[in-house]
Structure 1
Amino acid sequence: MLATVHKQLRNHTALIPLFIPIGGGANMSMLYLARLGLRNLDVCWDRKNNPEPWNKLGPTDQYKFYTVNYSKLKKDCPDF
């Protein structure tokens, strides 16, 4: 398969820039899947020693990919 891709790229050099974003997107998706598999609390690789790793999570630990700090947002409603 790699030989046919190499042969087509030799004949059609205009396809070379197309492989850069496709390869970058495939690389980023694989890195994100690896991050989900290694850092997510719902995935447990060691069931014998720590079957529920989410119970060890402290109140200050970040477990989301992006956390929004709502305390800095301006409030539009009155306090009751």
Structure 2
Amino acid sequence: MIRKMLDHARKHPGLVPQLFFIVLGMGGAGAYLIRLAKGPHVTWRHASNPEPWNNLPPTFQYKFVAVTTDYESLKKEGPDF
């Protein structure tokens, strides 16, 4: 497959930068995902720790999204014309 890509790049040299940036982006995305998976509270061994969320300290900051909405401004009797 790599051989075919190189032959195709020789025939169409304008695709070389595009292929370079695609490979660079895929490598960066893979490195980012590996970095995310190596957090201090992430485990890959579920046999020794089947419920890792029970071992978290009470001060652990969970990554939840808190959306606050002013519900009083949403209550209207009818549309404004």
Unmatched runs of 5 consecutive residues or more in structure 1 = 65-80
After superposition, the CA RMSD in angstroms is 2.7
Unaligned runs of 5+ in 2: 64-81
The answer as to 2:2 corresponding to 1:2 is yes
TM-score, scaled to structure 1:
0.54
Aligned residues: 63
Higher RCO (CA 8 Å, separation ≥ 6 residues): 1
- 1:1-80 aligned within 5 A: 1-39=1-39, 44-64=43-63
Deviation beyond 3 Å, 4+ runs, structure 1 = 35-41, 59-64
- Give percent identity, aligned residues only: 40
Q: Deviations over 1:6-59 (max 9, x none)?
A: 111122211111022211221133224334544396x75323321111112124
